[in-house]
Amino acid sequence: MTLKICVAQLNFIVGDINGNAQKILDAARLAHAQGAHLLLTPELSLCGYAAEDLYLRPAFMQACNDALNWLTAQLAGLQGMCVVVGHPYDGGQGATAVSVTQRLNCASVLREGRIVATYAKQELPNYQVFDERRYFAPGSHTCVFEAGPVNAPVRVGLLICEDAWFDGPALAARAAGAQLLAVINASPFHLGKGGQREKVMAERCRATGLPLVYAHLVGGQDELVFEGRSFVLDAQGQVQGRAPSFKETLFACTWADGESAAGWTARIEPQRSEEADLWDALVLGVRDYVGKNRFPGVLLGLSGGIDSALVLAIAVDALGPSKVRAVMMPSPYTADISWLDARDMAGRLGVRYDEISIAPEFEAFKTTLAGAFEGRAEDSTEENIQARIRGTLLMALSNKFGSMVLTTGNKSEMATGYCTLYGDMAGGFAVIKDLPKMKVFAMARWRNQHDPYGTGKEPIPERIITRPPSAELRPDQTDQDSLPPYEVLDAIIERYMEKDQSIADIVAAGYSASDVERVTRLIQINEYKRRQAPPGIRVSNRSFGKDWRYPITNRFRA
């Protein structure tokens, strides 16, 4: 027997239910024309992932039910093909085979104008960025359906994402007669997640003795990015095919079980470097946030420093130079090399570049406040005034021209509060919010060595990468005046924030008690700033976003 499968590794938009249904229909027609017996779409593909509290609105659920019925009818003419569609279901007017009084995360099998089977996800993740138990009840039934030629069908066991991270649902599918496991997914990207998925799915194959096809979502949704990279495994857990990462595709593969042929036939995209994955994740995150929210373009403050330089390079790769505007806003403390390097980089990438001095506004603020501040020396107050003047100018340009402001703060700054509310934190999207400073340097060097989108070689002037980082808000300032060396700072943040290590454990690992106490205290007392920061792209296994939920008012200290 032979089963020709097509994985619709596509980019769906949350809430665009009719558009998503049409996209599935277009993919099904193309797959059918290519001879596919089975089309797999990602988890919750009909409504987009993740729709969050939209699931709680009856009108949203009804729209999903209506779209499922419409899609089912439209597929009537595709003889001999099954289409698996991910969708939410609440027991409403949809023509599913499940009757419920609670919301379920479902996948329905559509064949020739009928829903022949519906499966409800059993394992609902409620950790990191996941909050599925808020919205869904767990399913309890196994789903095995037939697909392929009428005279030699293949029995396919259907699972949804987290189900396949446990033995139970997969073993139940095998006991029900499955010859192949099909897993539809919406699993957010973070560094190393792709290899982890393949490893865990390989364990399912070895536990069940069944081959497996893994259909994955691609695209950006607010802070989350999904990288695609769908794949197929043989019964021993070996990768026999892999789709491209960070690209929409109809991934075709064929599974055969017979004397003349056995196993998978599929193309195998090679493994990629961590840096290539990270760059593509950042680019896709920006492109989809800007595009799906219909902004005409972006603008950012280009300081001549490493963070804004990296954000500019990402933005140009994501949107092209015509949709990106860079604004240099020198103050009395801005070094000549800063505006020279900023001007140089803007020229290399071909973006619109403006220079607007903030010196007059800064002097005006100081004059206005002179009486109120009499007898007090200049301090961080005057530094923050400069940042807030810049934020005001960028937001004014945004209001006037409609472009969204990209902020340029990194994870090290978000962690320690080395950023100014209503200043450099003002904007719509925080591109490198989850990138620690040392990773910022590494990615700047990587981008200078690679030109993956053909927008320009070596876009970042070398001096931006090699000079000591500085906010340039007072004379001769460097970041290390206020923070430990970045290699120390980032390591402490990673251990404490991402790995939940205790202060004692971090000190035992060789870091000075004073540095650890200082950094962890800064993380705690700056929660109020992070709550007011714009969303940003999640690329680690724990970001300052949905998977970091600490109270602002908090006196606990370990």
Tell me phi and psi for residue 51, to 5 degrees: -85, -5
Confidence label for 556 from pLDDT (cuts 50, 70 and 90): confident
Domain count, the chain: 2
pLDDT of 297: 98
Instruction: Single out the residue in 478, 509, 529 at which a domain terminates.
Output: 478
Same domain flag for 222 and 313: no
Are residue 108 and residue 165 in the same domain, yes or no? yes
Average pLDDT estimate for 152-173? 96
CA 526 to chain centre: 24
Choose between 109 and 265: higher pLDDT.
109
| Residues 315 and 416 placed together within one structural domain of the fold | yes
Tell whether 18 and 116 lie within a shared domain. Answer: yes
**Measured between alpha carbons, how far is 178 from 115 in angstroms, rounded to an integer?**
19
Which one from 121, 433, 437, 529 is the annotated catalytic residue? 121
Q: Residue 179 — pLDDT band, cuts 50, 70, 90? A: very high
Are residues 300 and 201 located together in one domain of the fold?
no
Question: Does the active-site annotation cover 121?
Answer: yes
pLDDT band of residue 159 (cuts 50, 70, 90) is very high
**Mean of pLDDT over the chain:** 93
Cβ neighbour number for residue 366 with a 10 Å cutoff: 14
Q: What is the mean pLDDT of residues 150-162?
A: 94
Residue 281 and residue 261 share a domain:
no
Pinpoint the alpha helices (H) of 350-485.
359-369, 380-401, 411-416, 437-449, 462-466
3-state SS, residue 85: strand
How far apart are the C-alpha atoms of 180 and 232, rounded to whole Å? 11
Of the candidates 23, 43, 323, 437, the residue annotated as catalytic is 43
- The answer on 347 and 249 residing in a single domain is no
- Domain around 353: 276-478
pLDDT in tens, 203-226: 999 999 999 999 999 999 999 999
393 with 472, same domain? yes
Q: Quick: pLDDT tens for 396-417.
A: 999 999 999 999 999 999 999 9
Query: Are 446 and 366 within one domain?
Result: yes
Task: Report the CATH number at residue 246.
Answer: 3.60.110.10
pLDDT greater than 90 at residue 93: no
Give the model's pLDDT for residue 94: 44
Whole-structure pTM value: 0.94
As a whole number, mean pLDDT of residues 252-265 equals: 80
- Structural domain contains residue 506: no
**Would you say residue 520 lies in a domain?**
no
Q: Which of 478, 504, 538 is the last residue of a domain?
A: 478
Matching residue, tokens 């009486």: 371
Provide, rounded to the nearest whole percent, the portion of the chain with pLDDT above 90.
85
Query: Two tokens at 260?
Result: 């003349």
Q: State the pairing for strand pair 114-120/212-216.
A: unpaired
- Let me know whether 410 and 430 are in one domain: yes
Instruction: Say yes or no: 98 and 238 in one domain.
Output: yes
Q: Band of the pLDDT at 128, cuts 50, 70, 90?
A: confident
Burial of 136 (0-12, 13-18, 19+ CB in 10 A): buried
Give the pLDDT confidence score for residue 95 in this predicted structure.
45
Distance CA 327, CA 319 (A): 17
Report pLDDT for 100.
Answer: 52
Is residue 556 domain-resident?
Answer: no
Catalytic annotation present for 143:
no
Tell me the pLDDT band of 477, cut-offs 50, 70 and 90. low
Is 161 annotated in the active site? yes
Instruction: Please identify, among 478, 501, 531, the residue that sits at the C-terminal boundary of a domain.
Output: 478
Q: Which one of the listed residues 161, 205, 253, 419 is annotated catalytic? A: 161
pLDDT band at 91 (very low <50, low <70, confident <90, very high): confident
- 343 lies in the same domain as 222: no
Whether residue 558 has pLDDT greater than 90: no
